Copies of this chain bind each other. A is one copy, B any other.
Amino acid sequence: MPRTAAPPDAADTSLRQQVYASLREALTSGRFAPGQKVTFRYVAGELGVSLTPVREAMRRLVAEGAFEMNPNRSVRVPLMTRDKVLELRDIRMELEGLAAAKAALAATRNQIAGIRRAAREIIVARNRGDGATDRQKVREFHFAVYAAAGQPTLLRLIEGLWLQTGPYMNLLYPDFISSSRGPAGRQRLIEALEVRDATAARREMETDIRRALSYVADLADENGNIAPAAPATAGKRRSQPTTAAAFELQAN
C-alpha cells in the first residue's frame, strides 16, 4: 500500500517520522550494541516498511551523530572513545548549564512541580533497584528542566547530544550508579530554580554532568576505547542468534 491518509490534527504521522522515533528509542534503550552495523534493509524489514522512509530517518540520525557512516557507506553505531566522551562532556556542561540557568529565570510553578515529581520518582525507582525506571526518570528529570528553559533550539541540540551518549549510559549503568552521590545535587538544583538563582542552577547542572561523564571517560582502556570492541552485525547474513528483540514502529 502506497500510503494511508494523514489524520487532521496529530503532529507528524509520516512513516519517516515513525521510523526515526523507533530508531531513537532503540538506540537510547540500548537495543543496538556500539559498533554494530545496521543496514537499511534490515530496519525496513523489521519495521515492515520500504527503504525510502528508513533511508531518510537513518540519514538524519547519521547527521545527528547517533549513527556513523564508514567511507565504504555502511552505517553503524559509533564506538565511544575517551576523547569523544570528554568532548561531549564539555559541550553538555555548556549547553545544559545554560538551559538550567534559563530555566531558573523562566520556570513556572507547575514546571517546577513536575521537576520535583521526577526527582522523587528517581529515588523511588533507585530504592527498588529498578534500573530501567531509574534511567528513564533521570532522563525525564533533566528534560523537564530543559523544557522549562523555553528555548526550542537549545532543547533540540541537547536531545541530539543525549542521543550520542545514550547507548553508553545504558551499557555502563551498573558501574555508574554505584558511584552516584545521590539526590542531594538534584535537590539543590530544584531549590535554585525556586529562588530564581540562575548561577547556582547552572553550577549544579555542570557539576552533575562533569561527574557523570568524567566517570565514563575513566572507564576507557589503554587505547582510549570505552565499550567492548564488539563487532556484531544487524544485517544478518549468516543467521545470527538474533537475541535482540525486534523493535517496532513507534507512533511518535
Q: Cβ of A154: which chain B residues have Cβ within 8 Å of it?
A: 87, 90-91
Q: Chain A interface residue count: which class?
A: 20 to 34
In whole angstroms, how far apart are the Cα atoms of A151 and B65 in the complex?
A: 14
Pick the contact of A98: B65, B91, B152, B164 (CB < 8 A). B91
Tell me which residues from 83 to 130 in chain A have a Cβ below 8 Å from any Cβ of chain B.
84, 87-88, 90-91, 94-95, 97-98, 102
The yes or no answer to A63 lying at the interface (CB within 8 A) is yes
In the bound complex, what is the Cα–Cα distance between A157 and B56 (angstroms)? 20
Q: Report the copy number of this chain in the oligomer.
A: 2
Binary contact readout A1-27 vs B (1 if CB under 8 angstroms, 0 otherwise): 000000000000000100000000000
A60 and B16 CA atoms in complex are apart in Å by 12
Shortest beta-carbon distance, A224 to chain B, in Å? Answer: 15
Pick from B55, B94, B151: contact of A87, CB under 8 Å: B151
One of B65, B84, B98 near A94 (C-beta < 8 A)? B98
* Chain B residues whose CB sits within 8 angstroms of the CB of A65 once the complex forms: 153, 156
Interface residues of A in 149-206 (CB under 8 A from B): 151-154, 156-157, 164
* Residue among A65, A97, A153, A157 facing the most chain B CB atoms (10 A cut-off): A153
Chain B residue contacts of A208, Cβ below 8 A: none
Contact pick for A60, options B60, B157, B164, CB 8 Å: B60
Nearest-CB residue, chain B, relative to A151: B87
Complexed CA–CA distance, A65 and B63 (Å) = 12
Q: Across the interface, name the chain B residue whose C-beta is closest to A61.
A: B63
- Give A contacts to B, CB under 8 Å: 16, 55-56, 59-60, 63-65, 84, 87-88, 90-91, 94-95, 97-98, 102, 151-154, 156-157, 164
